[in-house]
Amino acid sequence: MTRSLSALARAGALAAVLSLAVAAPAMADPNNVMPIPALNGIHGLPELPGPTKAVYQVTGMDSPNRTQNVNVLGTDLGIMWDDGSGRMITAFGDSAGLGFPNFLAGSIWAWTSNVLFRSSDHNPSDGIVFDNVVPNPLPSPKIPGIEISFIPTAGISVRGVQYMSLMSVREWGDNGKWNTNFSTLAASRDGGATWSQLATTRRANVDGHEKFQQNAFVKAGGYVYRYGTPAGRNNPGFVSRAMESDIADIDAYEYWDGRAWKPSDAKTAAPIVGGVGEISVMWNDYLGQFVMLTTDPANSVVMRTAPAPEGPWSEPRVLIDARALPTAYAPMIFPYQTGNDLYFMVTQHTQYNVLLMRTPL
């Protein structure tokens, strides 16, 4: 990563942002964050009780990746997938940087809605090292009531094309709640360097498509399974599927109604899990099961397993108790098999950055 902060950000902008940050009132939306360690009081990895451990600071000023050098002081999510040629793409969500504050969006930071990092690192035991960055590939106007952010929720490579599912957030609500305009796919045919929205894949927040505003992807048996939840956390989860060749054909999807796959009508989708936040799903060779990570209504990070993509899903097993890491969310599974250990990223909102975690299976 070679792109450095601008002279403006290195000089007067930093002092202005810090002075505003100290005086900023508490708010529910992610614009109210403090990613600078000297001010948020968080240094080093959290010491967690139990088997799950924090192993690496992935983003931020305390990270060996030094993402502040590409103006990512703080960010969230960390959605990982293999690009089909052995390299990993990681999509992060709203990122706080230095520059002109986005006061219209109620933020003291210069914000971007998405950023991608690429890596050739398949061994997470000593952390994940990024090779390069794709800054702000799909910009958002960040206008309240129109589109306050455009956030990735899932990514997958299909036949050499990269696909991201993103949600257009109209406005932030109470903690853990927000309203969306639609979800949609975007595609890249150059390994994630440039992206285009696929307008015909838009799912407006009505007519059953409200169940698929936030997504997760997994491939199995020639299908792409697309999991969905309504906007926000503590919601039911649903699943749909299409043949890999039809991933961008919204009319080709089938929906699991609890007993069988039903064509075309998203309203037929029945819940497969309940009380979940952001979802990540992957097949796990060690368990011989599909694994789902999410948060529960208490905001603990939990794992479920199932023999098939549609379930039935097991009762949740707590990996990180909310009392141990109260502001954790968005657990995202590392895409390469790691034996009897499961690696995943999780966002710690109090420092507004992403950690790599390990738990034994």
CATH superfamily membership of 7-360: Glycosyl hydrolase domain; family 43 (2.115.10.20)
Sequence-ordered list of residues with C-beta below 8 angstroms from that of 53, at least 6 positions apart, any chain = 357, 358, 359
Distance (Å, rounded) from C-alpha 245 to C-alpha 161?
11
Domain borders along the chain are 7-360
The predicted structure's pLDDT at residue 175 = 79
Count of other CB atoms within 10 angstroms of residue 121: 15
Percent of the chain with pLDDT over 70: 91
Torsion of CA 114, 204, 328, 105, to 10 degrees: 60
- Segment 334-345 mean pLDDT: 97
**pLDDT digits 0-9 by tens, 143-161:** 989 999 999 999 999 999 9
**pLDDT digits 0-9 by tens, 227-250:** 999 999 999 999 999 999 999 999
Give the containing element (helix H, strand E) for 37: helix 37-40
